[in-house]
Amino acid sequence: MAPSLEVEDLGAPATKPTPEVKALDDKYREEREKRLNKSGTSQFREAKGKLARFAIDPWTEEIVRDPVNEDVEVLIVGGGFGGLLAATRLIDAGVDDIRIVDKAGDFGGVWYWNRYPGVECDTEAYIYLPLLEETKYVPTAKFAPGAEIHAHALNIAKMNNLQAKAHFRTEVLSLTWSDSLARWVATTSRGDTIRARFVISAIGILHKLHLPGIQGIENFAGHSFHSGRWDFAYTGGDRFNAPLDKIRGKRIGIVGTGASSIQALPHLARSGAEVYVFQRTPSSVDAKPNPPTDRTWFESLQPGWQEHRAENFERILSGQPQDIDLVNDGWTHFMLAMEALGKDSSTPMDDILKKVDIKAMESLRSRVEEIVKDKKTAEALKPWYGRLCKRPCFHNEYLDCFNYPNVHLIHTDGKGVDKVSEKGVVSNGKEFELDCIIYATGFDWGTDYSQRANMTIKGRNGLTLTEKWEDGPSTLHGIIGRDFPNFLTFTHLQSSTSPNYTGLLSERAKHAAYLISEAKKRGIRTIEPTEEAEAAWVKRMEDVAIARLGYFKECTPGYLNSEGTLSPSTARGASLGLDSPVYNEMLDKWRKAGTMEGIEIDRK
């Protein structure tokens, strides 16, 4: 039985929980323990060998070209928003000799790959879509669909003439530092050799799809694909949400209930004959009001508005009082509720977070009950974990799908599906015969960086990045590391955190452009952190992560807590950095000082 809870009764600090809070803590722990998996982030199967077809690019024909052998100033690995922003800022700073390499057939990163029906972004478009003032683009609504976001990425590329600087359908296989050349030497899947003075590794965080760690995926006799490579040829429809007319009469299974599955389900439910949703852990799903853009308002915005709006969002999220909540969405409401409770209160912040968190989750569990008519199904769809444990989802139709007679929730109660057979999915010991299985099982997030990048990265004296990061990442500012001169990474590690990932990328791009253009101006051959500066930064990031671990280590497993394996000893690799405004201000001050503090400079 779910514990009943009167949120207003939660006056006592969490150190002395009320019986209701204690019951809830027990319930959360019980649900977490069901889901802990010894294999952690390595539980998944990669799309390689017999499963390699799951990763094939369905969107672009094979590109035929001869291998190139070239020298450039900057090689950018990745043509998503990270690569696009880096290129834009470099060009602004006068560095034009750029090569962008991406395994995709065009720019756009995750928005190139993810074209499943219903795909959209649940971070507000006015802050998520970068460079709106520069491109003069007006988003159609508060939350933009994937096709629109992808078109915007292509627009940014066009604005900067980046097409001519890109090699698509090309994977960088290795990056090796040559001390004698003072260049990185890249080899690619096309037989290219590219020598670059600087490398920016903007590979993204959700680019390498993975499949569930179960047997039999390769034996299924029906059709199957991953949500990140949607097969419209099979389902019918398109990325603009035309009906999936080819699955009428078909039995469809979708494995996974994260953000992708939630957005795709309503489309499957409208067309599929029978739709089976295999759930390991329910997502929390809030409503998503999405008004169209008021053009009069948009046109009245003053220069500098986008940075100001994004900053307002980040400051609210980091608990800095603001006169106004410009973005006014689920994220800011959550933080503002905390602030309101914390005002004039001597209650510790952790207890306030708990109180607000419980209230928010109770309201989301009630939302399930209000929408889903069948009691047993509603119970199984309730999320039993803290609000920030998994990426919160927002959708107006998802829960209602479970009222459709053709949609069946197969709740595995934390166990996940058992296996795939020739005929379908075996779950809770029962075989569900299917015509098609869609794996909405997410992306590789927490494994070794080089594994996720699919590149061998060798710094000075043949030291690989995997060896250097054996005990966890080691960087200065999350961007540059010793023994890997002139190699800049854009990651979520040892830096700052935000649900607005393009906001983080904007800051990384600004910093990378500064480092590279200054090196050029000052005649610098190589830059890398001093041992002391890197060690101090790693220690600082470790302390920040450990201070924040409390919340996440108690969380149900998910990619945000490395599938439940987060602990003080792994804190170095946690994506729990500084609040964005703190990080951004620190880097801004660092750049303004102009001394490149903590960086060893070689001018030889």
Instruction: Name the site residues for ligand NDP (rule: CB under 6 A).
Output: 35, 120-123, 206, 212, 214, 227, 255-261, 263, 278, 280-281, 391, 416-417, 440-443, 558-559
Compare residues 160 and 261 and give the one whose CB is closer to ligand NDP: 261
Q: What is the largest CA-CA distance in the chain?
A: 73
- Cβ atoms of 579 and 496 within 8 Å: the answer is yes
CB count within 10 Å of CB 443 equals 21
Compare residues 139 and 485 and give the one whose CB is closer to ligand NDP: 139
Minimum Å gap between C-beta 499 and ligand NDP is 8
Q: Which residues pair with 410 in a beta bridge?
A: 278
Minimum Å gap between C-beta 540 and ligand NDP is 26
Minimum Å gap between C-beta 205 and ligand NDP is 8
Compare residues 37 and 347 and give the one whose CB is closer to ligand NDP: 37
Picking from 452, 493, 504, 482, the residue whose alpha carbon sits closest to that of residue 577 is 493
Compare residues 90 and 206 and give the one whose CB is closer to ligand NDP: 206
Minimum Å gap between C-beta 141 and ligand NDP is 13
Cα–Cα dist 462/468, whole Å: 11
Compare residues 329 and 357 and give the one whose CB is closer to ligand NDP: 329
Compare residues 459 and 564 and give the one whose CB is closer to ligand NDP: 564
Cα–Cα dist 563/39, whole Å: 9
Picking from 248, 256, 238, 255, the residue whose alpha carbon sits closest to that of residue 274 is 248
Compare residues 120 and 148 and give the one whose CB is closer to ligand NDP: 120
Residue pointed to by tokens 């991406």: 102
Picking from 305, 329, 300, the residue whose alpha carbon sits closest to that of residue 317 is 329
Cα–Cα dist 582/592, whole Å: 15
Minimum Å gap between C-beta 571 and ligand NDP is 21
Cα–Cα dist 149/339, whole Å: 32
Compare residues 36 and 181 and give the one whose CB is closer to ligand NDP: 36
- Cβ atoms of 537 and 475 within 8 Å: the answer is yes
Minimum Å gap between C-beta 140 and ligand NDP is 15
Minimum Å gap between C-beta 384 and ligand NDP is 12
Q: Which residues pair with 600 in a beta bridge?
A: 528
Residue pointed to by tokens 């900057």: 74
Compare residues 281 and 450 and give the one whose CB is closer to ligand NDP: 281
Minimum Å gap between C-beta 212 and ligand NDP is 3
Compare residues 127 and 255 and give the one whose CB is closer to ligand NDP: 255
- Cβ atoms of 409 and 279 within 8 Å: the answer is yes
Q: What's 279's DSSP letter?
A: E
Q: What element of type H or E holds 601?
A: strand 599-602
Cβ-count burial 45-65 (b if 16+ within 10 Å, e if not):
bbbeeebeebbebebeeeeee
Picking from 70, 92, 71, the residue whose alpha carbon sits closest to that of residue 512 is 92
Minimum Å gap between C-beta 336 and ligand NDP is 21
Cα–Cα dist 215/257, whole Å: 20
Minimum Å gap between C-beta 267 and ligand NDP is 14
Minimum Å gap between C-beta 228 and ligand NDP is 7
Minimum Å gap between C-beta 360 and ligand NDP is 18
Minimum Å gap between C-beta 215 and ligand NDP is 11
Tell me the torsion sign for CA atoms 86, 91, 94, 95: positive
Compare residues 161 and 215 and give the one whose CB is closer to ligand NDP: 215
Compare residues 193 and 215 and give the one whose CB is closer to ligand NDP: 215
DSSP codes, 173-233: EEEEEETTTTEEEEEETTS-EEEEEEEEE---SS-SBEE-S-S-GGG-SSEEEEGGG--HH
Q: Which residues pair with 333 in a beta bridge?
A: none
Picking from 36, 44, 34, the residue whose alpha carbon sits closest to that of residue 441 is 44
Q: Beta strand 526-529 with 599-602: parallel, antiparallel or unpaired?
A: antiparallel
Token pair of 99 as six digits: 């090569």
Compare residues 198 and 439 and give the one whose CB is closer to ligand NDP: 439
